[in-house]
A and B are shown apart, each in its own frame.
Chain A
Amino acid sequence: MKAILAEAVDWYVRLHDSHVSDATRASWQAWLVADIRHAQAWARLEQLQQRMAQAPGGAAMTLETARQDRRSAIKALALLLGVGVVGWQGYWVSPWSTDYFTRVGQRRQLTLADGSRLDLNTDTQVDIRFDAGERLIHLRHGEILVETAHDRRPLSVLTAEGRILALGTRFSVRQEAGVSCVTVAAHAVEVRPERAPQQVMRVDAGQSLNFAADRLGPLLPMAADAQAWTRGMLVTVDWRLADVIAELSRHRPGHLGCAEQIADLRLSGAFNLDDSDAALANLEDSLPVRVRRLTRYWVRVEPRDA
């Protein structure tokens, strides 16, 4: 039976693909009727789907949050349960054991061991490593806002492109593909690209800087309300529609796209990140666009007359 279950799973994975062809569907039908055990195995998969369907909306997030909370407490729990965790102190996490993370659409605020505050924006992963000599926050994905607490150990944020040393401060860091973006709200930070460590750049309050591993971008004035996400808001002043959509889509599961023809429409406004459906409805009111929904998870903004 196990081999047949494996076949059923294989079919399921192929059928679930958004690019599934009619030919594949037809071959699956043929497989399904070829043997009663095929149909039985398929029924088991469907039962499993039923169980998944009983989960409330956002269940994935709830399950991950719960697991994450348990994992954060694992040290205490391990001690309590009398199970040794070997080498816990020297434990430096692999990409798949992040200390803290948020899923798409989720935000989180943490207080770290030294009293520093850390805001995690949507879809973010960080590892925290504090030792006697330094405080390290490793941003693996997404965006964080750090508000440092006073401590004699230096605090740095590590990204794929380099290191950001806090000089007593409130600043945010965003990891994009191949680029790190630093925005400083109070005091200053020092940026050191990974492959050009001699190019140290100080970024002061009200400035932001993008940098790659081997070079620094220009210092730019900080965008208005760049850190409004910590309050669940997106504030845009004269943004391209495509950029607004891209930003909203970071906060919502599934696909949210924008048609080419309307990408350059300009837009100012404030949007609630927790209710991107309302934000989309807003767009329909204020711009010549319409929102086309194929499913809950596939939404595209198009010209109204299309």
Chain B
Amino acid sequence: MSTVRPNTECHAGLDALYRQHHGWLRGWLRHRLNDSADVADLAQDTFIRVLLARTADTLNEPRHYLATIARGLVIDLYRRRSLEQAYLEALALRPEIHAPSPETRVLILDSLLAIDRLLDGLGVRTRAIFLAVQLDGLTYEKAAERVGVSVSTVRKHLARALMHCLLFDDA
């Protein structure tokens, strides 16, 4: 694969990459995000990823590469926002629960994010069955009823989801 290069050379590559494509990347992000602070943050994060990957000077199609990284970050931002929103809505629906402190919220949101990422790539049905059994605490029979499948299908999908989580966790 790629040869290991001295750090300075890599930084030089990144520097060139930054100068040539930073403006373009911001434009790319501006088309996709409403908030200029988000644009600045994600542009920065994209270059940090490139820096950490040490690939700046080995790129054939730098803009394609930057866009790929930035796209992942946009999706992640989107994921975090949607979870935050859904979580706040859930809190608002249960006013009897004392609103957790901002620190606790961050922890809870992180755990939701981790689970959400873990479940990426599962089919809708597998995911629904896993959540019903693992988070809602439904029996196999109830989960089968909710999702509209047989109990043996519930077992099969639960096993598939658990396996997926274990292997993903490994990565």
Contacts and interface: CB of A to CB of B under 8 A. Distances in A.
B111 A63 contact: no
B90 A65 contact: yes
A66 B83 contact: yes
A116 B141 CA distance: 36
Interface stretch (B1-9, B38-46, B49-57, B160-168): B160-168
B155 interface: yes
A233 interface: no
Interface residues of B, number: 53
Given A63-B119, A81-B74, A51 B111 contact: yes
Contacts, number: 138
A70 interface: yes
Contact of A66 (B31, B74, B86, B158): B86
A10 B159 contact: yes
Interface string A1-20: 01001100110110011100
Contact of A96 (B93, B124, B132, B139): B124
A296 B108 contact: no
A253 to B, nearest CB: 5
Nearest to B96: A275
B82 to A, nearest CB: 4
5 closest A-B pairs (Cβ-Cβ)? A60-B135, A65-B86, A60-B131, A66-B86, A66-B82
11 contacts: A13-B158, A48-B169, A51-B111, A51-B118, A55-B108, A55-B111, A59-B112, A80-B31, A82-B67, A254-B139, A255-B139
Interface of A: 2, 5-6, 9-10, 12-13, 16-18, 44-45, 47-49, 51-52, 54-56, 58-67, 69-70, 77, 80-82, 95-97, 103-104, 106, 123, 141, 253-255, 274-275, 295-298
